[in-house]
Amino acid sequence: MRILDAEIKLREATREAEQIRDHIEYDEQVEKLSETQMELGGRTVEVILKIEELPDGKTEFAREIALLTRVVQVMNDAVDILEEPHTGRRAIAAETEVIELLLRTRRINPNGGGGGGSNPGGGGTGTTSAIAQALAGAGNEKDAHRTARSVRHETGKAGKELPAGFQYGLDRFLNRPLAP
């Protein structure tokens, strides 16, 4: 999870670096990003090795090892992209793929193994909003805050009726035959 958090922060920093592309500090900033990505790749390799050292680790966690191996490959691709230097869409896409792969690896639960059932591996406690927040990133708006708002649900017509001329045109547009 620490690697995931660091990767999300790296992606945010890459976005920020893209905004200063024309400044003198850009090359120095991108070099730091590349080094950070390389460090995260090394940490991920260490996690793979620790998993493999567990009793039956290679067989019990083969799925996680395969995903983490793919994570390392994509991290290496991201390093190559950052070293060009490039912080645009390709770099962000590679870092986002790393985040998505990390989210797909399940946490190792020492009290539960893999397998089926109604509660496989003791997991299933995550939420889709947590995944969405991770993919979106933390953001860097210093003064941002959430405001709770109530939402009303109503049925019926919303707003005023359209003038006859607009209604006629809209009906013709929506009911026109589709071109073959």
Tens of pLDDT, residue by residue over 43-67, are 999 999 999 999 998 999 999 999 9
Longest CA pairwise span in the chain (Å) = 75
What number of other Cβ atoms are within 10 A of residue 92's Cβ? 18
What is the mean pLDDT of the segment spanning 99-124? 58
Q: Cα separation of 95 and 76, whole Å?
A: 10
- Asked if residue 92 has pLDDT above 90, the reply is yes
Give the pair of three-digit tokens for residue 61: 């966690």
Nearest Cα neighbor of 75 from 38, 47, 102, 109 is 38
Q: What is the DSSP letter of 149?
A: -
